[in-house]
Each structure stands twice: as C-alpha cells, then as structure tokens.
A = this chain, B = another copy of it.
C-alpha cells in the first residue's frame, strides 16, 4: 500500500533505497537481466510491491528509443470493415505487447495521410499500420518518406511497404461464378466508389469471370458503399426487365438493393438473384438472407501486426505481401435462372 505519503509517485531510486541496492539493480530486475542473485531479486520485488512502484515508460522510451507503441491510420472506423480490421489490429498488437495509437481520417488524401503519419511519428510510435483502402491513400503511402516501419492493409501496389489484404479479385470472381453457375445469362454489378481499391478489385473479378464465360459485362452501377446508394442502384435495376442476377460490392448496398426490389415488387431470389460482399452480422437476417462473400477482417488485422512486428524485431527485411482468401457464403438470395 502506497507508503508514499508525499504525493510523488515512487521512482526507481526509491525502490533501490527501500531494497538497499542501487537503482541499476532494480532496473536489472525489471528487465529480467540474468545476473541478479535471486535473493536480491526477491528483495527488490518486495520493495516494488511495498511502494506500489510502476516503471515510467516515458523515461524508458526516451533512452531506449522504443515506445512499444504502434500507430494505426484508418478511414472512417464507423464502417464495419475498417472497424473490424482495427479491432483485429488492436487485439493482435496488445497480445504482442504493444500499445496502439489511432488516427481516424475523415477524408483520405495525400495531405491527410502525411499529417497522420507525421503525427504518429512525432509521438514516437515504433511502427505504423495504415488501413488504406483508397487508391489515393495507397499512392500517398508509396511516395511519402516513412520514418518508421510501415505496413499497409488493402494498400494495393504501395511502393516499399508491406501489404496485407483480402483477395478482392477472387471474391468478385467467386460471386460472379456462383451466379453464372446458376444459369444466369449475365451478372450485373453495383460497385463501390471508384477510388477504392477494394471496389476496383471486385469489379475486376466480376469482369474476369464474365469474360471467361464469354459473357458481355453490363455497365456497372456505381455506389458509395451506403445502403442509400444501393437503394438507388436497386431502383434502376428493378426497372430493367432483363436483369436476373446482381453482384453488389458490399452488404450494406445489397440491403438497399433488396429494399428497392421489395418496393418495386421484384422478388428475390425468384426473379433476381443477389450476392453481396463482406458478410456483416446483419446479412444473415436480411429478407431474404443474403448470399455473400466473407472477408476475414480479424485475420487481416492480425496478419498486419505479425508482419509489422517481424519487421520491428527482426531488423529490416524485404517487404512482404500477404493475401487472405475470401470465402463464399451460401444463403438464400440466389436461385437458378
């Protein structure tokens, strides 16, 4: 119990005096240095306990030049995807013994990314994970001078930095092939915003699958990930008699599409089949439950920390590129043509 009546928190010297050793010995005990007599060690430990001493990590960081803090830069952590990724990152980082400092950007442009990076670097983070799903962010990352080891999540071809991502192209392909295998003549697509690498990858997968099957790719309808934009795309789609299958770039937009179809009396999956992307917790309970492509955001977060920590602790290595496969989740929003 704090016998420190003076309000000052105990420091190493106090512990040293209490234990009758030098502060350096206290330091050695704290850092598990091998050469400390075990009797001395217990005396120090007792003193620490008695005084309620806690090591000052700021002072430690000043001399070691390592803060054991990792920075995370993300965009709109209100969305399920980024939120889940950041959650995975945080869990993994803490498990690896690192603190996590976060910057959530409202808009992701070059200046924003640079500021965030500077900001974190100033704070003394040992490494940074940038969740950079937009092309602009990835580009910014590629040609920004990086003060500390950095890894990108969904970062595309980003120059020097390591990248961990979900195979979006494969996801788009899975969705489209599923629809095609059901006998649909072609598959329409409601895409995400064009600046997003994920959106782009899904479009590419969709296009590739169509091409491979020798089908014409209709013009994709562009959304912005929001249910509303899906709803609007859905209204357009509902008015076209030849639409029988739609691959929507995320589940939220798919919800909007579903809603528009319901309003227009277009039955899913009887008249139109719909496939989403992400597998948010809600999609199983949409009407009808949504067939979708699951992304393992947690795994992405964990991998990004693994890569970063490896870089931090194993010295400078060459950049890595890690891809997490998406998985197809069958539910009931699709049916034979």
| Interface residues of A, Cβ cutoff 8 Å to B | 54-59, 61-62, 67, 69, 76-78, 80, 83-84, 86-87, 90-91, 94, 99-104, 106, 118-119, 121-124, 226-228, 230-231, 252, 255-256, 258-259, 262, 281-282, 284-287, 289
Q: How far is the CA of A57 from the CA of B58 in the complex (A)?
A: 10
Chosen A-B contacts, 14 in total, with CB atoms closer than 8 Å, are A54-B122, A58-B61, A58-B124, A69-B101, A69-B123, A76-B87, A77-B77, A90-B102, A91-B104, A99-B123, A102-B102, A228-B284, A255-B282, A259-B289
Give chain B residues whose Cβ lies under 8 Å from the Cβ of A62. 56, 58-59, 62
Q: A100-B102, A101-B99, A259-B286 are in contact. Are A124 and B57 (CB under 8 A)?
A: yes
Set B87, B100, B227: member contacting A281, Cβ < 8 A: B227
Q: A80-B78, A99-B123 are in contact. Are A285 and B57 (CB under 8 A)?
A: no
Give chain B residues whose Cβ lies under 8 Å from the Cβ of A287. 258-259, 262, 287
In contact, A255 and B101 (Cβ under 8 angstroms): no
Q: A56-B124, A124-B57 are in contact. Are A101 and B104 (CB under 8 A)?
A: no
In contact, B122 and A57 (Cβ under 8 angstroms): yes
Set B76, B77, B124: member contacting A86, Cβ < 8 A: B77
Closest to A86 in B: B77
Give chain B residues whose Cβ lies under 8 Å from the Cβ of A106. 91
Closest to A91 in B: B104
Q: How far is the CA of A154 from the CA of B69 in the complex (A)?
A: 28
Give chain B residues whose Cβ lies under 8 Å from the Cβ of A226. 281
Closest to A61 in B: B58
Q: How far is the CA of A61 from the CA of B281 in the complex (A)?
A: 42
Q: A57-B123, A227-B285, A287-B262 are in contact. Are A78 and B67 (CB under 8 A)?
A: no
Closest to A9 in B: B147
Give chain B residues whose Cβ lies under 8 Å from the Cβ of A285. 227-228, 230-231, 255-256, 258-259
